[in-house]
Structures are given as structure tokens and as C-alpha cells.
Amino acid sequence: QQEQLQELRGLAATTPDGTTLEIAANIGRPRDAQPAVAAGAGGVGLFRTEFLFLDRETAPSEEEQVEAYSTVLQEFAGKTVIVRTLDIGGDKSVPYLSLPREDNPFLGVRGIRLCLAPPYQHIFRTQVRALLLAAQLNVASLWIMFPMICDLRELRQAKSFIAETEAQLLQEGKLTAPVLPGLRLGIMLETPASAWLIDQLAKEADFFSIGTNDLAQYTLASDRMNANLAELHRPFHPAVMRTIAHIIQTARKLQRWIGMCGEMAGNPRASAFLLGLGINELSMEAGSFNAVKQVIRNTTTAQARELVERVLAAESSAEIEEMLS
Ligand code: PEP
Ligand code: MG
């Protein structure tokens, strides 16, 4: 069976009736890019850039970041690379930023909230400058994704920040021509607020990617790291499955590209359900590619749609786990 899985490396995730899902990699460092390509990644669905900021004394400079982003874009030449802007706060603390202590860090100033807050905007500015400068290389298609967006106000602020930064770089002569027309700007859907505002967000976001780790945590009001909540926090809770269904179905209706980059995307037990809903892309650790492809290659879209109906009618995680096994 291991050999069968190995053979899948060069094959697409295409169903017997001809629907193809994009299979992309989650990476945290430039050095993860090459092994992901070797394992058959069709692109990067999530580059968690906060890893560039952890375990060091100072923030990485503009030059260092240009170098890091360029390395990944070059490894994925001709493909799509989704770079998520800095997602710190929550459980990811950065000593040199001296973030204030919060009673509920996961409900506090994290992700895009932190990047747009005046005391930290300089960190975000440097990152965006580096991304736009790396985009100038034009080797891969760069999509920029904002984490933890709740509503249009935040999305608009983030987009203005990017536009302002481009204007500065043009003025300084560091950019010789605008790069924004060639980029896509999208968001993570990982808060219940964004899930319910997806129709509004779709007017201004070029693409979406579902972050199931945070989406489950915020939907169930249960800390994703708390072992005492494991019974509630099972991977396929009916409330989470219905939220995901609402998101994907709405995105497809509005003709917006929709991917998934949380843990669920790499769980082969979820693949048929996500296929049935019409997801465009699944992004995961490279080690999960083959198991997910194997499910997709053996499931017809009709079977997958029928499974969706049953899952959405289920009353418990246990019942859904049974259906998906
Ligand atoms: C998620 O929340 O599902 C996600 C992909 O982001 P992270 O795990 O980095 O919070
Ligand atoms: Mg998240």
C-alpha cells in the first residue's frame, strides 16, 4: 500500500468523473519549499510567515524578508504561492515586540488586528514592502492573504495599507512599475464573523482559504490546545461542518476561489465531503498529499455530494466520524 501511495506523487487529484482539486503545501520556512515541490505540491496554499519572526532577537529586516519570499517564489516558479501576512499574538508570542499581557490572547490583539494597530504597523510595513519587492521578480503568482479578518472594515484597512505601501515604494524608485495589478489579495476564513459575512467580503476579497483550526476553536468556544475539551473539540463537529458547508457553497455561488489550509484539509477522511461541496484547493503538510489524492481519485462527485447531504443532517461528531470512515 505504501508503494501505491508513492505512485501518486506525480498524479493529479482528479476524480473518476474528471473534477480536479489543487493540492498545495503548507510551509513555515523557505527551507520547506524544496521538499514540498519534490513531494508533488502544485503550489503553496499557506506560507505561515510568522515563523520568520520567531526564535530571534529582532525582527527580520526588509532585505532578509525579500530574500526569504524570493526563495519560495523561485522554488514554485510558474505556480501560485499564497503568503499569509504575519499572524502573531494568540499563542505565538514574540519577545522583542513586548506585546502587552492579555487575559484572553486568542480573543485579543492577534493576526491582522495586531498588524494594523499603530504600535506595530512598522513591522507590518516592512513585511508588505518585502512582499511587494519580491513580487517584482515575477517568477510565480503571489497571492497575499490576511489572517483573522472579521469584517469589511478590517479587509479595507488591510488593502489600503498594501496600496499605500506600493505608492511609497514607487515614489522611492524601489518599484519600477506597479505590482498590485498582478497580485491577488484574499483572506483566511477562520472566524465565525467572516463565515457569516462571506457574501460581503466576496465583493472585495479576490480569494478565500478556510482555517479550520481557528474556525473550530471560535465556533465551539473551545481552546484548540486544551486537552480537557477533546470530547467537544473533535475534528468533525456538526456545527463546524455546517459552517464549512455554508462558506464553500456561498463562495462557489459567488464564483470566488475557495481553498482550505487548516488541519482538516490534510485529513483524508474529510476529502470526499470537501470535494462534494466544491472546494477548489486543499493545502496541507507534504506528508498528507498522497493519502488525500487517493481518496479524491476514488470518489465520484455524485458520491461526494450524496455524502454532504448525510453529513449535514447528522446530529453528533460520532455520527459524522462513522460516515466519513
Ligand atoms: C487555521 O487557523 O486553521 C490556520 C491554518 O492557521 P493557524 O493554524 O496558523 O492559526
Ligand atoms: Mg489560524
Give this complex's ipTM: 0.99
**H/E segment holding residue 324:** helix 317-324
pLDDT at 90 over 90: no
| Mutate which of 47, 261, 284, 288 for ligand 1 pocket (most atoms within 8 A of beta carbon) | 261
83 torsion bin: left (phi>0), alpha (psi -120 to 50), beta (else): beta
Question: Cβ(237) to ligand 1 under 6 A?
Answer: no
| Mutate which of 46, 188, 190, 210 for ligand 1 pocket (most atoms within 8 A of beta carbon) | 190
Nearest CA to ligand 1 atom 4: 211
Question: Cβ(214) to ligand 1 under 6 A?
Answer: yes
List the single range of 61-70, 94-103, 282-291, 309-318 with lowest mean pLDDT: 94-103
* Rounded distance from Cα 148 to ligand 2 centre (Å): 7
* Rounded distance from Cα 234 to ligand 2 centre (Å): 17
**Pairing between β-strand 207-210 and β-strand 184-189 as defined by DSSP bridges:** parallel
In the chain, the amino acid numbered 223 is D
How much is the average pLDDT of 168-189?
Answer: 98
pLDDT at 161 over 70: yes
pLDDT at 3 over 70: no
Nearest CA to ligand 1 atom 9: 48
Q: Which comes out higher in pLDDT, residue 83 or 8?
A: 83
**H/E segment holding residue 46:** strand 43-48
Question: Cβ(266) to ligand 1 under 6 A?
Answer: no
**pLDDT band, residue 118 (cuts 50/70/90):** very high
Question: Cβ(261) to ligand 1 under 6 A?
Answer: yes
Alpha helices (H) in the chain, listed in sequence order: 2-7, 33-38, 62-75, 112-116, 121-135, 152-172, 192-196, 198-201, 212-219, 238-253, 268-277, 289-297, 301-313, 317-324
Report the percent of the chain where pLDDT is more than 90. Answer: 90
Nearest CA to ligand 1 atom 8: 213
Ligand 1, atom nearest to 87 Cα = 9
How much is the average pLDDT of 101-126?
Answer: 96
User: Any idea what the Cα angle at residue 44 is, between residues 20 and 59, rounded to 5°?
Assistant: 165
**H/E segment holding residue 296:** helix 289-297
pLDDT at 2 over 70: no
pLDDT at 6 over 90: no
How much is the average pLDDT of 178-206?
Answer: 98
Q: Report how far residue 46's alpha carbon sits from residue 48's, in angstroms, rounded to the nearest whole number.
A: 6
Closest ligand by atom to 210 CA:
1
**Pairing between β-strand 20-27 and β-strand 13-14 as defined by DSSP bridges:** antiparallel
How much is the average pLDDT of 184-194?
Answer: 98
* Rounded distance from Cα 285 to ligand 1 centre (Å): 13
Closest ligand by atom to 148 CA:
2
Which residues have their alpha-adjacent CB atom under 5 A from ion ligand 2? 190, 211, 214
How much is the average pLDDT of 125-129?
Answer: 98
pLDDT at 1 over 70: no
Cell numbers found for residue 188: 483566511
Half-sphere exposure of 53 (CA within 13 A, CB side): 21
Question: Cβ(284) to ligand 1 under 6 A?
Answer: no
How much is the average pLDDT of 197-211?
Answer: 98
- How confident is the prediction for the chain on average, in pLDDT? 96
How much is the average pLDDT of 157-166?
Answer: 98
- Find how far residue 233's CA is from the centre of its chain: 21
Question: Cβ(219) to ligand 1 under 6 A?
Answer: no
Ligand 1, atom nearest to 48 Cα = 9
pLDDT at 280 over 80: yes
How much is the average pLDDT of 230-250?
Answer: 95
Nearest CA to ligand 1 atom 3: 211
CB count in 10 Å sphere of residue 271:
27
